């Protein structure tokens, strides 16, 4: 008799204690083995029979993947098995770093609930590839890169463009992401995150933004990443370009909001229509940009 829906199919569970051991298992079982990190996504998708794995390779025993390190001028490195709560605790203990990466702090505080944050890893949240997750926006905002390692060597990939859809990425099946580097924001930049989710855990629309030198058009730097509104994270480059014009910040923010409204192609689902998401994306971005520019 086949297994009923919402029970896990059979699989072999392995928990290597070193990276070398884990890479060897993945190389020898390419296509049949999957990485188990926090496991929230991978086990859920297996229960729903949306993905298959004969072997789950639990990477949480590999000590070197549990690191958080700030390198002045370079950025913040977060290891593959660091959970949302571990990152929050680190940032709370280091207020200067928290201030630099406030969009990361705010989005991680908003990620699901306290119980899930004890389990969910930042890397797993990004690689799960759901449109609604909270970690991808700030990662793209801080131009983050992941280090992917296999028995063939290692490579560095930008988070922007890494994910192709739910449980689909540009990674090879034998690669492990060992860490993510959030790049140092420009000096004096302010960053923030808003999640619009009344009555839900996931956001209808999430916006991450960065504003540096708002009153100096020659030196202004504005970055915007919208998630939850579209299938994949949306970086409205045309809206960002508006801030290069020699016009006051508030005027540029108005024009940018209009560009977002014109260019975004939002999802429509039982929670929010495409039209509502278009309105939210434009309005939330405008409000966040003004707040960051005013230093509120
Ligand atoms: C009730 C509920 C509410 C939720 N609410 C929210 C919410 O509000 N916001 C939100 O963002 N999310 C939410 N989630 C989703 C949850 O946060 C994610 O499922 C979780 O963050 C995924 O991380 P993980 O560590 O469990 O990843 P896993 O499930 O372990 O992994 C996810 C995917 O990434 C791959 N992977 C993981 N680590 C690596 C690695 N190092 N190298 C290569 N591949 C890797 C895995 O093989 C798998 O394909 C919710 C989930 C539930 C069940």
Condensed to tens digits (0 to 9), the pLDDT of residues 227-274 reads 999 999 999 999 999 999 999 999 999 999 999 999 999 999 999 999
Give residue-wise pLDDT tens across range 133-178: 999 999 999 999 999 999 999 999 999 999 999 999 999 999 999 9
pLDDT of residue 248: 97
pLDDT of residue 173: 96
pLDDT of residue 30: 83
pLDDT of residue 31: 85
pLDDT of residue 19: 98
Ligand 1 near 46 CB (within 6 A) = no
Q: 207 to each of 103, 194, 204, 253, 288, how far by Cα in Å?
A: 9, 5, 10, 14, 8
Atom of ligand 1 at shortest distance to CA of 116?
17
Atom of ligand 1 at shortest distance to CA of 178?
41
Mean pLDDT (whole number) for 202-216: 97
Mean pLDDT (whole number) for 116-128: 98
Mean pLDDT (whole number) for 199-212: 94
How far is ligand 1, taken at its centre, from the CA of residue 57, in Å? 15
pLDDT band at residue 60 using 50, 70 and 90 as cut-offs: very high
Give percent of the chain above pLDDT 70.
98
| Atom 27, ligand 1: residue with shortest CA distance | 124
Side-by-side strand order, sheet with 221-227: 190-196, 205-212, 221-227
Indicate if the pLDDT at residue 3 is higher than 60: no
Closest to 137 in 3D by CA, of 237, 196, 207, 241: 207
The pair phi, psi for residue 150, each rounded to 5°, is -145, 180
Indicate if the pLDDT at residue 199 is higher than 90: no
pLDDT of residue 181: 98
User: Considering the chain, what is the average pLDDT of its residues?
Assistant: 96
- Measured at the alpha carbon of residue 281, what is the angle toward residues 276 and 287, in degrees to the nearest 5? 120
Q: For the chain, which domains are there? A: 12-57 (3.30.43), 64-183 (3.30.465.10), 190-294 (3.30.390.50)
Atom of ligand 1 at shortest distance to CA of 200?
8
pLDDT band at residue 1 using 50, 70 and 90 as cut-offs: very low
Please state whether beta strands 12-14 and 33-36 pair in parallel, antiparallel, or not at all (unpaired).
unpaired
Indicate if the pLDDT at residue 94 is higher than 50: yes
Indicate the top mutation candidate among 85, 120, 131 to test ligand 1's pocket, ranked by most ligand atoms within 8 A of CB: 120
For 213-226, b/e burial (b = at least 16 CB within 10 A) is bbeeeeebbbbbbb
Mean pLDDT (whole number) for 32-53: 96
Indicate if the pLDDT at residue 2 is higher than 60: no
Q: Could you write out the three-class secondary structure of the chain?
A: CCCCCCCCCCCEEECCCCHHHHHHHHHHCCCCEEEECCCHHHHHHHHCCCCCCCEEEECCCCHHHCCEEEECCCEEEEECCCEHHHHHHHHHHCHHHHHHCHHHHHHHHHCCCHHHHCCCEHHHHHHHCCCCCCCHHHHHHCCCEEEEEECCEEEEEECCCCEEECCEECCCCCCEEEEEEEECCCCCCEEEEEEECCCCCCCCEEEEEEEECCCCCCCCEEEEEEECCCCCCECCHHHHHHCCCCCCHHHHHHHHHHHHHHHCCCCCCCCCCHHHHHHHHHHHHHHHHHHHHHCC
pLDDT of residue 294: 96
Indicate if the pLDDT at residue 276 is higher than 90: yes
pLDDT of residue 5: 63
């Amino acid at each position: 008799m086949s297994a009923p829906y919402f029970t896990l199919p059979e699989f072999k569970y392995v928990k290597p204690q070193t990276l070398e051991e884990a890479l060897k298992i993945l190389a020898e079982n390419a296509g049949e083995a999957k990485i188990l990190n926090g496991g929230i996504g991978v086990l859920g998708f297996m229960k729903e029979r949306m993905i298959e794995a004969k072997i789950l390779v639990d990477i949480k025993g590999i000590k070197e993947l549990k690191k958080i390190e700030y390198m002045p001028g370079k950025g913040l490195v977060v290891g593959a098995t660091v959970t949302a709560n571990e990152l929050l605790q680190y940032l709370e203990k280091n207020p200067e770093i928290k201030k630099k990466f406030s969009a990361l702090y705010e989005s991680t505080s908003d990620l699901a609930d306290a119980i899930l944050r004890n389990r969910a890893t930042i890397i797993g949240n990004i690689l799960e590839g759901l449109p609604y997750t909270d970690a991808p926006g700030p990662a793209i905002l801080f131009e983050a890169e992941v280090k992917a390692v296999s028995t063939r060597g290692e490579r560095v990939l930008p988070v922007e463009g890494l994910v192709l859809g739910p449980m689909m990425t540009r990674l090879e099946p034998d690669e492990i992401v060992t860490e993510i580097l959030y790049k140092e924001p420009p000096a004096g930049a302010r960053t923030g995150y808003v999640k619009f989710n009344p009555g839900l855990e996931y956001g209808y629309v999430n916006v991450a933004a960065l504003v540096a030198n708002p009153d100096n058009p020659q030196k202004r730097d504005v970055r915007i990443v919208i998630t939850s509104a579209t299938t994949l994270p949306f970086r409205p480059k045309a809206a960002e370009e508006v801030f290069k014009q020699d016009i006051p910040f508030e005027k540029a923010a108005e024009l940018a909001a209009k560009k977002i409204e014109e260019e975004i192609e939002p999802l429509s689902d039982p929670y929010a229509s495409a039209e509502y998401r278009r309105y939210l994306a434009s309005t939330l971005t405008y409000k966040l940009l003004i707040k960051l520019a005013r230093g509120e």
